[in-house]
Chains A and B, each alone.
Chain A
């Protein structure tokens, strides 16, 4: 009995560790995959690492990550150490209370910390703006900047803020262990408090400070959520960059960068643990430490020389930091920039480099999750993008709310290349605010091997025979839109009864267990792998799925007979954009035929550029040496007669939007 227990517990531990580490091993292994799949092994290669180091966006974000982590660690370590010492000069009751307060930010959800810091900064900037305006008005000696925005500085402050508790947590036990009389003794022997700090407290609590700093550094490098909310529109950390690279599917390049991140954090933790173990052993044996290499080195120098050497080292370090910060901020401030916010994997990144080379304008390229996420980000004031690429209905909402700047089309000659079909659309009837970026349809995607008869109606989404294998799109507008179309209503209806009827259709199917889940980006993995039979998604993404479908999966795309939604994403400039002219230059560049061809090929969404639409099949043939399947091209760029059957979303009145929201929340799943 006992013996079997023993085996059982070993097995259990083995399973736990397998569960913890197997995914990471897989990730590491596939970072060396020669193919571009994260599931099929095609041989060993370091190509993805090479690609990684040549990717400017990744290298830049790595640099940002290291800089913010180092600076935040240095500052938080100093601040946290003194804070801990301060805590220990309080009465025990107050100290314990404050230590609990110190624990809260560490246990607090990152998202709460991130959002609250973001809101705090924005509120401060508003207050500052008012103050600066007044101040600049009453004097003209100093000109204060009126408009402050989220950026490297705010992210640094955020990192410092969340790092400090970790430093305190590590330093506090060392202070508790320290004989309090030591400080008294040092002062008694002639030290000022500061001298006592350097000569006695610091050597005593140094192990705590070092491990605090290491943990702070690790937390900083690791952080995604807090950075995401405080980095603003011009800064990205490595974690943020990786996240934006995983929008559709995870390429081994993501594996490679994640592997490097994992290994460096692992190295730091190992370093810290080894240090602690050594200290414990030393303490147990009460032995005096062998002088380290640096200490032996320093013994060779006379005291004054050593002091100068130390000062020199400190000065060099400080200079290094200043230069690094200057480089970073200088790069941001002296070079012309444009801040672009688009969607994940929605551009051929070579275009960014091309644009920068041509114009000397630096592009800070960031991505948002959805139209709604972008909207709330803009509303919170936490972003100062120049160019955004929202969808049609969101554009009309933004125009209605006066959040967009009119465009100076004289600076966008390439606007002439946009097909008249995509100008003056309902969301911007006079075409004063937008230049279309791409367009497409939202249809049914199904796996022909998993359905009995090929569906040509939205009704398939609610059909009990497909129970458990339908993916509902996780977006209230699209999900309810399909249901409205199926019932024969307009996608833009404001009739509450119709909307509720559409909702009931979905809710009923949900109760019958038709839906496997609500998905957005996960749709790729599920459909490609044959884990679901039917989904609603965009034509361009269907094509990209087609490229990656597993064996035995036969994905098809159909515009159901009831019609479908067709959409346009268009570039707009935000009101008060700080780099208006650069924004127009960017828009003009993207509107060009070459850029449209490149994008079309990369993202598989149709271009609004007449020439690009015409030339793409030839472009494809030249590039890949094979003919573009005309049927596929029709799916990508729906012909006019199909578009006829499709309806574009219009902005809904607030009451209807609220209804959508509440229904969507009610649905759950």
Chain B
């Protein structure tokens, strides 16, 4: 990751009393695949629209290559966007959709408006259709394409302009699961092939982890954590990140000394240091980092309350002193059996207390939560979009 391309400095976005973005500071490097990840209304789409030029931040600055861009309209930015529902032009066919940007006269170095010759347009469009595997579709009306094909047209239409940065606003949201997985790989391939920066907005943590060089986790208009997918997963900064990325048991603990944390009045070895003595902390334990052992050999002892077969593993819910943990193991333990558990020091992650402490990590209502996630997620972006609802920048 080489040179810095985009920087947001203290960006604030508010509508009346409602603060949508709260002092966002972020830089994006050239050729980076960066993902803005968070739940509905976290401000990720707003951030993307500020970068795209569709919104001006209420306060703060946006820099491209060190130049302040706050008031530059979208058509003058070296940025192109793939919109959530593709926003293909229904009255144009595939070829003309892709050629749309090329047909707009652009100012050359002397400021004169120049049109590309028809031959070059044709060549570039056909090249691009090849990149997105849509050769032979150029005469089709876009309404006759499947979701995945429309998606490819949208990507080709943006990339044909050779932007420095491609913004993708939940581009896979409308596709089904299989197609989604394929397109993830496809997108990553295109990004590497074209060697440009992708800024990707999603609420799907798996997607974010699979594709990104850098993940920016957002919630409530604030950045919660920036890091590589591994950092984010392994060293979540607070309970929100820990819960949002993957599954986590988040338990109240007290740091008794460097490398020693106390949970349920038992001391555990861990790798975390630098906390004050006796500081209350949040402790994250990933479900797959827990080993089930005999009751007698366990560091903690509990009762199994539910077991779900998930193919690769069993999701086992265990009650420890009224707090329910999720444990993922290949061992089957029947409901109501007494078990013990062991956790290695590197399976324990200690976080400072935050506003999110106590909100997540208990699996008492595990199965309902699963269903809620399924229902709730597709709405994302709607909220962000409807608020401005305008045609002007």
- A: residues with CB less than 8 A from B are 85, 88-92, 179-193, 195-196, 199-201, 203-204, 286-288
| Cβ-defined contact, A183 with B391, below 8 A | yes
A91–B75 contact, CB under 8 A? no
Q: What are 7 residue pairs bridging A and B, where the CB atoms are less than 8 Å apart in the complex? A: A89-B391, A179-B87, A181-B83, A185-B83, A188-B81, A189-B104, A190-B75
CA distance A181 to B157 in the complex (A): 14
Q: Of A88, A91, A287, which one neighbours B391 at CB under 8 angstroms?
A: A88
A89 touches B85 (CB 8 A): no
Given contacts A188-B75, A189-B101, contact A204 B106 (CB under 8 A): no
With both beta carbons as reference points, the residue of chain A lying nearest to B390 in the complex is identified as: A89
The interface stretch among B88-96, B269-277, B317-325 is: B88-96
Least CB distance from A550 to B in Å reads: 63
The listed residue (A180, A203, A288) touching B93 by CB distance below 8 A is: A288
Q: Is B80 an interface residue (CB 8 A)?
A: yes
Q: Which residues of B contact A180 (CB under 8 A)?
A: 385, 389, 391
How many angstroms from the CA of A204 to the CA of B142 in the assembled complex? Answer: 14
What 7 A-B pairs are tightest by C-beta distance, nearest first?
A: A189-B101, A181-B87, A89-B390, A190-B104, A185-B87, A203-B91, A288-B141
The A contact surface, by secondary structure, is helix
Extra contacts besides A88-B390, A187-B73 (17): CB < 8 Å: A89-B391, A89-B392, A179-B87, A181-B385, A182-B89, A184-B54, A185-B157, A186-B100, A187-B54, A189-B101, A189-B158, A190-B75, A190-B101, A192-B75, A196-B391, A201-B391, A204-B90
Residues from chain B with a CB closer than 8 A to the CB of A287 are: 141
> Complex formed: what's the CA distance from A186 to B87 in Å?
9
* B→A interface (CB under 8 Å): 52-54, 73-75, 79-81, 83-85, 87-91, 93, 100-101, 104, 106, 141, 143-144, 157-158, 161, 385-386, 389-393
Residues B84 and A189 in contact, CB atoms below 8 Å apart? no
Contact of A204 among B52, B80, B91, B100 (CB under 8 A): B91
Contact A188 B91, beta carbon cutoff 8 Å: no
**Which of A182, A189, A287 has the most chain B CB atoms closer than 10 A to its own CB?**
A189
Contact A185 B81 (CB under 8 A): yes
Contacts A181-B83, A182-B87, A288-B93; is A187 near B393 (CB within 8 Å)? Answer: yes
Contact A91 B161 (CB under 8 A): no
Residues of B within 8 A of A191 (CB): 75, 104
Q: A101 CA to B65 CA in the complex, in Å?
A: 48
* CB-based nearest B residue for A287: B141
The answer to whether B389 touches A190 (Cβ under 8 A) is no
Other-chain contact of B84, A91, A92, A181, A188 (Cβ < 8 Å): A181
Closest residue on chain A to residue B169 by CB atoms = A181
Contacting pair B391 A193 (CB below 8 A): yes
Contact present for B104 and A195 (CB under 8 Å): yes
**Closest beta carbon of chain A to B341's beta carbon, Å:** 50
Residues of B close to A181: CB separation below 8 A = 83-85, 87, 385
Min Cβ gap B271→A in Å is 46
Cα A192 to Cα B385 in complex, Å, equals: 21
Nearest CB of chain B from residue A179's CB, rounded to whole Å: 5
Complex interface: chain B residues within 8 A of A182 (CB): 87, 89
Q: Give A183 to B141 CA distance when docked, in angstroms.
A: 19
CA distance A200 to B87 in the complex (A): 11
Cα distance A204–B158 in the bound complex, in angstroms: 21
Residues in A with CB closer than 8 Å to B386 are: 92
Residues of A within 8 A of B83 (CB): 181, 184-185
- A182 CB, nearest partner CB in chain B, Å: 5
Write out the residue numbers on chain B whose beta carbons fall within 8 Å of the beta carbon of A201. Answer: 391
Report whether A187 and B74 are in contact in the complex, using a CB–CB cutoff of 8 Å.
Answer: yes
Nearest-neighbor residue (CB-CB) of A196 within chain B = B391
Residues in A neighbouring B101, C-beta threshold 8 A: 189-190
In the complex, the answer to whether B93 meets A187 with C-beta atoms within 8 Å is: no
In the bound complex, CA of A189 to CA of B52 (Å): 11
Are A188 and B392 in contact (CB-based, < 8 A)? no
Residues of B within 8 A of A192 (CB): 73, 75
In the complex, the answer to whether A85 meets B391 with C-beta atoms within 8 Å is yes
Compute how far the CA of A192 lies from the CA of B158 in the bound complex, rounded to whole angstroms. Answer: 16
* Chain B residues positioned under 8 Å from A286 (CB to CB): 141, 143-144
Chain B residues within an 8 Å CB radius of A88 = 389-391
Least Cβ distance of B140 to chain A in Å?
A: 8
Question: Which of A90, A190, A199 has the most chain B CB within a 10 Å cutoff?
Answer: A190
Q: How far is the CA of A338 from the CA of B89 in the complex (A)?
A: 58
Query: Which of B53, B80, B85, B93 has a CB less than 8 Å from the CB of A189?
Result: B80
Q: With a CB–CB cut-off of 8 A, which chain B residues contact A203? A: 89, 91
**A95 → chain B closest CB, angstroms:** 9
With contacts A184-B54, A185-B83, A186-B100 known, is A193 near B392, CB below 8 A? yes
CB distance from B6 to the nearest CB of A (A): 16
Chain A: CB-nearest residue to B140: A288
Cβ contacts under 8 Å, B52 to chain A:
184, 188
The one of B81, B89, B106 that contacts A184, using a Cβ cutoff of 8 Å: B81
Nearest-Cβ distance from residue A209 to partner chain B, whole angstroms = 14
Residue contact B79 to A188, C-beta cutoff 8 Å: yes
Nearest-neighbor residue (CB-CB) of A200 within chain B:
B89
Chain A's closest residue to B77 (CB) is A188
How long is the Cα–Cα vector from A482 to B305 in the complex, in angstroms?
Answer: 105
Q: How far is the CB of A454 from chain B (nearest CB, A)?
A: 79
Bound together, the chains give a CA A445 to CA B91 distance in angstroms of 71
Q: Distance (Å) between the CB of B143 and the closest chain A CB?
A: 5
CA distance A203 to B80 in the complex (A): 23
In the complex the two chains form, what is the Cα distance from A203 to B91 in whole Å?
Answer: 7
A576→B79 CA distance, assembly (Å): 68
Chain B residues with Cβ under 8 A from A288's Cβ?
A: 93, 141, 144
- The interface centre, meaning the residue of A85, A179, A187, A195 with most chain B CB atoms within 10 A of its CB, is A187
Closest residue of chain A to B154 (Cβ to Cβ) is A185
Q: Whole-angstrom distance from the CB of B310 to the nearest CB of chain A?
A: 37
Point out which of B74, B81, B144 has the most chain A C-beta atoms below 10 A from its C-beta.
B74
The one of A85, A183, A189, A193 that contacts B100, using a Cβ cutoff of 8 Å: A189
Cα–Cα, bound, A180→B141 (Å): 20
Instruction: Assess whether A184 is in contact with B74, with CB atoms less than 8 Å apart.
Output: yes
CA distance A195 to B115 in the complex (A): 14
Chain A residues with CB under 8 Å of B74's CB are 184, 187-188
Instruction: Report the bound CA distance from A121 to B98 in whole Å.
Output: 52
Contact of A91 with B89 in the complex, beta carbons under 8 Å: no
Distance A91 CA – B93 CA, assembled complex (angstroms): 32
Shortest distance in angstroms between B145's beta carbon and chain A's nearest beta carbon? 10
Nearest-neighbour CB distance to chain A for B94, whole angstroms, equals: 11
C-alpha gap A14/B298 in the complex (Å): 89
| Chain A proximity of B311: nearest CB distance (Å) | 38
C-alpha spacing A528/B391, complex, angstroms: 65
- Nearest CB of B to A89, in Å: 4
CA gap between A504 and B158 in the complex, in Å: 87
Question: Given the complex of chains A and B, what is the CA–CA distance between A141 and B315 in angstroms?
Answer: 92
Q: Output the least CB separation between B225 and chain A (Å).
A: 29
Complex Cα–Cα for A643 and B10 (A): 99
A446 to B195, CA, bound (A): 101
Query: Is B81 a contact of A190 with CB atoms below 8 Å?
Result: no
* Alpha-carbon distance A203/B385, docked complex (angstroms): 23
Chain B residue with Cβ nearest A288: B141
- Nearest CB of A to B280, in Å: 45
Contact partners of B75 in chain A: CB under 8 A: 187-192
Chain A residues with CB below 8 A from B391, complex form = 85, 88-89, 180, 183, 193, 196, 201
Q: A191 CA to B105 CA in the complex, in Å? A: 9
A256 to B88, CA, bound (A): 52
Taking a contact as CB atoms under 8 Å apart, the answer to whether A189 and B393 are in contact is no
The residues of A that contact B81 with a CB separation of less than 8 Å are: 184-185, 188
- Is the CB–CB distance between B389 and A92 below 8 Å? yes
Residues of A within 8 A of B79 (CB): 188
Contact A189 B161 (CB under 8 A): yes
Kindly state the separation between the CA atoms of A204 and B90 in the bound complex, as whole angstroms: 8
CA distance A89 to B390 in the complex (A): 4
Cα of A89 to Cα of B386 in the assembled complex, Å: 11
Q: Specify which chain A residues have a CB less than 8 angstroms from the CB of B161 in the assembled complex.
A: 189-190
Interface centre among B100, B158, B161, B386 (most CB of A within 10 A): B100
- Establish whether residues A188 and B80, one from each chain, have CB atoms under 8 Å apart when the complex forms: yes
